[in-house]
A = this chain, B = another copy of it.
């Protein structure tokens, strides 16, 4: 690709991201510092259209970049606003205080994302592996139910209601509780399951029911976890591209469904890169051709903890949004770094 073409493409994309409208050759020639006549620009644009980087919705409507065009811009032509980046890092540093709970950090992160970008913020929490059991506590709740509180070595807490068919005194329960805790402490899920099976076979403790329910838990420990946090969804409604109700509906259907978004999240979790951008059709969400998603992984103590980012219109200012998402992810990582 010739330098001339790259240059023109860059200008077209910039203008498009600025205004959200198609850009014509005259307007580009007049307002920019291109120094070329409209006709020359038209030639270049025609070439770019043949390459599949630009397209025009109809004959006399100017041109706008295709998804590929924006992709090329983001990957090769764009330079991020480094002054902005520095400011972001500085302001992030300023409110660094560790020892805060995961959920609060994430909540703050989404809000930060929406207030900086004016788009919808999105944070996913990676389903943790619940590697090792640290502690199990059985607490009597009523005559019929027991609450099992299971704590992982990573500080994850889960609780589960268990029916209490076998009648037993609270003292007895306490005794059983510490026995089970001793039995399963330091086990990973597989080991725990094995030990439970063995215990159920022997049936020494006469608490088959309870053990069965615990075993069930080892098979499906993270069932029903909430996994996606949103904020600022209503921000998106301000965008002109949502004049059509249809678009809005499918957007919010996506928010509710979550399935499809989770796919993207998983993809980012697996990827190597920090920030990943999905432009228009690239994310394969139905009826969301005008939407882009910018995501980044965040980490804590070496392991990947989840993904965060924003959802916004395709014509967003990527050179602003990318560093924002990047810095927020770094900030979250730092907050969680030493804390768990």
Contact = CB atoms under 8 A, between A and B. Distances in A.
A139 B160 contact: no
A151 B137 contact: yes
A147 interface: yes
A164 B144 CA distance: 37
Contacts of A144: 99, 338-339
Given A104-B224, A234-B253, A237-B249, A141 B161 contact: no
Interface string A100-137: 11011001000000000000000000000000001101
A135 B163 CA distance: 19
Nearest to A102: B161
Contact of A147 (B141, B157, B231): B157
Contacts of A100: 161
Interface string A161-179: 1010000000000000000
A32 interface: no
Interface residues of A, number: 44
Contacts of A248: 237, 245, 248
A216 to B, nearest CB: 13
A253 B100 CA distance: 28
Interface string A222-260: 001000000111100110001101001100110110000
Contacts of A163: 99
A234 to B, nearest CB: 4
A203 interface: no
Given A141-B155, A145-B340, A147-B155, A160 B249 contact: no
A76 interface: no
Contacts of A255: 233-234
Instruction: Give how many copies assemble into the complex.
Output: 2
A159 interface: yes
A137 B161 contact: no
A68 to B, nearest CB: 30
Interface string A247-278: 01100110110000000000000000000000
Contacts of A243: 245
A134 B140 CA distance: 9
Given A99-B163, A256-B231, A340 B142 contact: yes
A154 interface: yes
A243 B249 CA distance: 11
A36 interface: no
Given A233-B252, A234-B252, 6 more contacts: A101-B160, A137-B151, A147-B157, A161-B340, A237-B249, A245-B245
17 contacts: A99-B144, A99-B163, A100-B161, A135-B137, A139-B151, A139-B155, A141-B155, A142-B155, A142-B340, A145-B155, A157-B159, A231-B256, A234-B249, A234-B255, A238-B249, A242-B245, A245-B245
Interface of A: 99-101, 103-104, 107, 134-135, 137, 139, 141-142, 144-145, 147, 149, 151, 153-155, 157, 159-161, 163, 224, 231-234, 237-238, 242-243, 245, 248-249, 252-253, 255-256, 338-340
